[in-house]
Amino acid sequence: MLTQLTIHHFAIVDHLELDFASGMTAITGETGAGKSILLDALSLCLGARADASSVRAGKERAELTARFDIARLPDAKAWLNARELGTDECLLRRVISIQGRTRAWINGTPCTLADMKALGGMLIDIHAQHAQQSLLHASHHLKLLDEFAGTDEQLTQVREAWKEWQRLRKRLRQLQDDGDALQARRQLLRYQVEELDTLALQDDELDALEAEQARLAHAEQTLAQIEAASRLCTDDNSGALPRLNQALACLAELPEHDAAALANTLTMLEEARIQLEEAQSELDHHASNVELDPSRLQIVDERLSDVYRIARKHHVMPDEVSALHRRLQHELSELEGGDDDIEQLTQRTQDMQDQWRQLARSLSHQRQRHAPAFSREVQQQLAFLGMDKATFEVSVTPLEIAQADGLDHVQFLISANPGQPTRPLARVASGGELSRISLAIQVVAAQHSTMPTLVFDEVDVGISGATAEIVGQLLRQLSHNGQIFCVTHLPQVAAQAHQHLHIEKHSNRNTTRTHMARLDESGRIQELARMLGGIHLSEHTLAHAREMLHSGQQKQAQ
């Protein structure tokens, strides 16, 4: 259940921190005082879309935090544990900047809004005033029946099977409709693959060919330069080695004293002679390995020319030719088996259609089985709400065209007066009747909900008098198994709540602020009297309010 809601710099709220208890909590206040702000803040903590305009004027950001006790919510705990966020408490935090950026956290860990919304859907359910209008659309009737029947898992399976069936059908139509184009593509691929097969370029061959071409093309020049360098080392007239030998012979004739003084010089010249001889030997060895092969060079040039030509033809780089070859081979292989693919795909499509239809029939059976019970429970609630003569039915009929949600058309039918046939809800219900029908359906849905926290936002609009007191009793009964929040303008409803929160707006020349307070008994009497009689409270109005509160609390204790 919701245990705490904290709001900073949101709309006209500067700072608000509220602690909540189990049972039924009434939320009241003048029109425009800011009751919707509380629900808007809660919705944002559950993953609703944010707007920068919701940040309080003059502030950089709004911050909202909702704390939930999930000790009795195994699905929510499993969801958190699967993401290593599991505790017996859940803290949802949302920050909205004045620039419109938004961030979200679950138990202190950053999360996506999709995750926040998924978790929020396990924690709280909000029944808003617009639910009355949604009842006029038959598409919403199917959703309500599925929720009552508990067919969530079956519906998911039906939708997934439908999605796969439609994917296969689309693919099959593409293969069948594009037969001529596929044949032309197949012929082109055969020609291209045959040409690449003839080329038979290996993955690393291009680099080797280009290196070999460079070596062969420059072989004559390389050999000439090596031989010239060798001659400069050994030529009898001007070679480096003979001249170095002459220098060593000259120094060998020096007197012993001078030779000792030039010992280091002699050593360097001797080492130089040895290095020069080794270098000359290396030059001769390299020259013997230089390959002069014009015929091989011609072969390599032609091979590279073929590679470059095909690369240009296919608009790829030369080093991409091998990969292109494999890709075209794979595509051709798939198309060559096209007839078999169509046959196999036809069978797969039929199998998936059969699977979807089997799942849809099972889902339809569950809907038809639960529709009478849904009808009975709604009719019982309508009787409590003063429409005891009304007849309510849930009609489940086959669809003419199959849809993702199954084979059924679900429609709510009503007869407000005895002897009149039931007709579609949108065609016969007046405004006041629609309010009561909507509330009856939402009460039934809430009774079968696993949600620990339910919010009813002005669902009692259009209801008054004794019916309003009955609405309060129904909401109070729902709170016995969980937590109910009810935003209401009806004192008969507010009087029966376990707790009562009052919202009021304070304005001065420079600013506007919303304040919310938990009312004690005296405060509740004052607020109920205001709701009954307006601004000027008489002793009679206060006495009426006091009696209404005591009566509501006595019934609550029973």
CA-CA distance, 482 to 454, in Å (whole number)?
Answer: 8
CA-CA distance, 553 to 558, in Å (whole number)?
Answer: 9
In contact, 273 and 244? CB cutoff 8 Å: yes
Euclidean distance between the first and the last CA atom of the chain, given in angstroms as a whole number: 24
CA-CA distance, 338 to 367, in Å (whole number)?
Answer: 42
Instruction: Confirm whether pTM is higher than 0.85.
Output: no
CA-CA distance, 293 to 295, in Å (whole number)?
Answer: 6
CA-CA distance, 356 to 306, in Å (whole number)?
Answer: 55
- CA distances to 60, 83, 241, 269 from 283, rounded to whole Å, are 78, 70, 14, 21
Dihedral angle computed from the Cα positions of residues 387, 144, 78 and 363, in that order, rounded to the nearest 10 degrees = 130
Q: Where does 356-452 show beta strands of DSSP type E?
A: 391-403, 406-415, 423-424
- The residue assigned the tokens 């608009």 is 315
Buried b (16+ CB within 10 A) or exposed e, 1-25: bbbebbbbbbbbbbebebebebbbb
CB-based burial label for 58 (10 Å; 0-12, 13-18, 19+): exposed
Per-residue pLDDT 10s for the chain (558 aa) are 899 999 999 988 888 888 998 899 999 988 766 677 888 899 999 998 888 888 988 899 999 999 999 888 888 888 999 888 877 789 999 999 999 899 999 999 999 999 999 898 888 877 765 555 667 777 789 988 998 998 989 999 999 999 999 999 988 887 777 667 777 888 899 999 999 999 888 888 888 888 878 777 777 677 778 777 777 777 766 678 788 887 788 877 778 777 777 788 888 888 888 888 888 888 777 777 666 777 877 888 888 898 999 999 999 999 899 999 999 998 888 777 655 567 788 899 999 999 999 999 999 999 999 999 999 999 998 888 888 888 999 999 999 888 999 999 999 999 888 888 888 887 765 666 777 787 788 788 877 776 778 888 876 676 777 888 888 888 888 888 778 998 888 999 999 999 999 988 877 777 777 788 899 999 999 999 998 876 678 888 899 989 999 888 776 555
CA-CA distance, 255 to 97, in Å (whole number)?
Answer: 97
Domain boundaries, the chain: 184-336
CA-CA distance, 127 to 445, in Å (whole number)?
Answer: 10
Q: Supply 362's token pair.
A: 């099972």
